[in-house]
Amino acid sequence: MKLATRLTILLVVLTTAVAALVGWYAVYTSTRASYAALDETITSVVAAGAGHPLTALSSALAVVQENSYDLTLDLVSPGGVVTQIVAGDTPLARPPTVADVRASLHGVHTSSDLPGFRYESMSVGGGDHLLIATSTDLIDRRNRQLEVRIAVAAAIAAALLGVVARVIVQRDLRTVDRLIGYAGDVSRGEFDEVIPAPSGSRDFQDLQASLAHMVASLQRTIEAEQRIARVTQQFIGDASHELRTPLTVVRGYVELLARKDVSEEQRMRAIERVTTEVARMDRLVRDLLFLAEVNEVPRVEVTPISLSALVEGAARDFMTDHPSRPVTVDVQPDLVVAGRADYFERLLGNALSNVARHTAGRDPVRVSLAADALRVRLVVEDGGPGLPDEIYGSAPERFRRFDEARSRATGGTGLGMSIMADVTRALGGSMTTARSDLGGLAITFSFTRDAGPPR
């Protein structure tokens, strides 16, 4: 049985039970009030003749006639002879007995011997007693009518509530069905499906929001795991690809050094070459590990950084290390961005070391930092040979060297551009390449400006 049907049945049953309880209480209260009115009528007749046995009968009769009470008055002798004084609209089922009289001397009484009547007796002198009885038939009929009306009203109320509940519950359950369908799509990996719009009661809207949040978190987790898998696979592929050549060179020179007929000059040249290749492999592994670290972390924890101070410091160090180069530095002061200082230092170090490695010693260099209301732009330019025209604007490829100036002979690993691109992405920025008006390469880095104080 579906949930909507179960809930509807439950509401109908509860409504019927509540209506029955309320109806019973109403009938009970009405019956007690009616019986109390009857008892008051009987009591008023008894009170009229109480204490005066010789005039009790006439007094009681006078009260009945004066108020037109629907009562039956029977005179019962000590021998059980019954003389009816007044006949009510509803006659007694049988004549009262002495036992009936004795049982009702001290208050209004009911008995299975006289069903449908309430009665009380009093002494009227000479050993005789007067039994005053009234029928409850009218009250019983009225109660039965009230019970029928309450039952009909309860049935109508239960039916209406059942219909309303069915409509409301089905609307909410349709939302649940859509969410279940969406959850099934997600379980099959179909994350492109759009989550159903929130509808129905507040609880189901909260359920929709929680499911959307859960799916978004799950998707981020899956994407992070996929990214880690890609980075791991790429690291293994890159390392095996790029280490193959230096390892081959090292193995060849080690075999040469093992020969006994090698001259001292050849030995020294082999040792120097092995040392160079080992150092290059060390730089390569460190670059690969850094790239893996940058790509593995889905989100970098950032703080406000004074990029102006970092750029000025890196430019000063570059000019100190290369005093023969014409270097132009144009840095707008007090520019703050959100990021990590070590990532920005690595970015500046790679950009300037690429210039030093791939351009001539006297080629000009220009470093500029400027900003508008939203973005901070860092541009590193050189007067070297630049890159082929078809390369500008495209994403850098790992280990791709574009000309002879950017070859293994310079000691590079071919990862400089990739490191800069990945670090820029990790910092939430963008990187583009273009030809500089100095003649060589211009690399532009763009970052979101931060209004907070630098740390």
Fill in the DSSP letter of residue 449.
Answer: B
Question: Would you state the pLDDT for residue 409?
Answer: 45
Give the residues across from 303 on adjacent strands: 339
The identity of residue 196, as a single letter, is: P
Neighbouring C-beta atoms of residue 315, cutoff 10 Å: 22
Vertex 346, ends 345 and 352: CA angle to 5°?
90
Contact 329, 312 (CB under 8 A): yes
The top-level CATH class assigned to 201-298 is: mainly alpha
DSSP secondary structure string, 257-286?
Answer: HH-TT--HHHHHHHHHHHHHHHHHHHHHHH
Contact 102, 123 (CB under 8 A): no
Binned average pLDDT, 10 residues per bin, the chain of 455 residues: 69 81 86 91 88 82 90 92 90 90 91 90 88 91 87 84 74 72 75 68 73 78 74 67 75 84 84 84 74 64 87 92 91 90 88 88 92 91 85 58 42 66 86 90 90 64
Element (H, E) at 422: helix 416-426
Write down the domain spans for the chain: 3-142, 201-298, 300-455
Q: 126-155 b/e with 16+ CB inside 10 Å = b?
A: eebbbbbbbbbeebeeebeeeeeebeeebe
Write down the CATH number for the domain with range 300-455. 3.30.565.10
- 3-class SS of residue 389: helix
Q: 258-278 b/e with 16+ CB inside 10 Å = b?
A: eeeeeeeeeeeebeebbeebe
